[in-house]
Amino acid sequence: MPSFGPLAFPLQALSWLGNQGTRAIVAVLLLAIAVPPLGELARPYVTHAIFLLLCISFMRVDVAMLTAHLRRPLLVVAATAWTTIAVPALVGSIGRITGVDATAPDLYLALMLQGTASPMMASPALAALMGLDATLVLITLVTSTALVPLTAPLLAYVFLGETLSLSPAALGLKLAAILAGALAAAAAIRLALGIDTIRRHRAPIDGLNVLILFVFASAIMAHFLADLAASPFRMLGLALLAFAVFLLLLGTTMLLFRGAGRERAMALGMMVSLRNMGLMLAATEGAIPGTTWLYFAMSQFPIHLAPQLLRPLAERLRPKALPSGGTDHGLTSPASE
């Protein structure tokens, strides 16, 4: 890596962090739990972190792969319909069939907010860390996010009635501003630095992604230790449910999209199972019951642990690396473990 004067040491530190791959994502969660005060400091910057993650994803997108996906839009359309319409309908229906909506309405609210949310802004970064097709994930993320202001309020009303009041206009404006701003910033960075420079500095950019993900984990896990001490069995049950929902969405999506190739199916499965509950919290202005908050906190465990646990499977599914430097899907090739 060339010398950048005063920036040399920060770049080296970010490179080291980025080269830790999915292990760094696990460390982020553990550190967020171990130092609760960091959560209070990070909370005001969650929206900024969302913007930066999406900006980095746009900045690193492989234009050639983007064009290839757009020439054959059927896969993107199907994945978008699945994650924005079918998934919340599936979650809502299972909740009603099992009686969760009547016996545990606060938990049912949490599940519906999770189901109606768009994929996480960080999902392309996580897919890239696993060596999966992050460009496909990014395209579907954008199309899904664009539709959520229309689909989320409608589906929430169908399954929740008037217990939740969403503002489609406010949510739509916020999402549009984030997407447009991130796209403009990414275009400016690509124009100023060039895509070759961005690719050469893949490792420090991966490290920056890890630091930004830490903002999410810190903000939502700030009270984890206190809640665990107060009601350990309740927290364990919510954690098991969060993993069950994650695995259900991952497995079902991989099964449905297996015809697109196993690697693409897993990339879509990761995206669909990682829901952007932060935006739904913003839409409801945080006016949700305590159990809903706790479930959102427990959902951070599959989000941060799954990339590490599932990476061996991803390595078996993705194409073999090319001699010239490997297959990075235009975003990154994580360091070998």
- Residue by residue, pLDDT tens for the chain (337 residues) are 444 556 677 788 888 888 876 788 788 888 888 888 888 888 788 778 878 877 887 887 777 777 777 777 889 999 999 999 999 999 999 999 999 988 988 899 889 989 988 888 778 777 877 777 788 888 888 888 888 878 887 887 788 776 665 555 666 677 677 778 888 999 999 999 888 888 888 888 888 888 888 887 887 787 788 888 888 898 899 999 999 999 999 999 999 999 888 888 988 998 999 888 776 766 665 567 778 878 888 888 888 787 777 777 777 766 654 443 344 444 433 333 3
pLDDT recorded at residue 322: 40
pLDDT recorded at residue 329: 42
The number of beta carbons lying within 10 Å of the beta carbon of residue 211 is: 15
Which residues are CB-neighbours of 327 under 8 A, at least 6 positions away?
131, 318, 319, 320, 321, 333
**How large is the greatest C-alpha to C-alpha distance in the chain, in angstroms?**
62
Which CATH code is given to the segment(s) 33-313?
1.20.1530.20
HSE-up of residue 91 (Cα within 13 Å, Cβ side): 34
First to last CA, the chain: 21
Give yes or no for a contact between 1 and 11, defined as CB atoms under 8 angstroms apart.
yes
The number of beta carbons lying within 10 Å of the beta carbon of residue 163 is: 14
Give yes or no for a contact between 132 and 250, defined as CB atoms under 8 angstroms apart.
no
- Residue 297 in tokens: 């906190």
pLDDT recorded at residue 335: 33
Give yes or no for a contact between 19 and 201, defined as CB atoms under 8 angstroms apart.
no
Give yes or no for a contact between 272 and 87, defined as CB atoms under 8 angstroms apart.
yes
d(CA 189, CA 35): 34
Residue of 89, 124, 132 whose CA lies nearest to 263: 132
Give yes or no for a contact between 38 and 218, defined as CB atoms under 8 angstroms apart.
yes
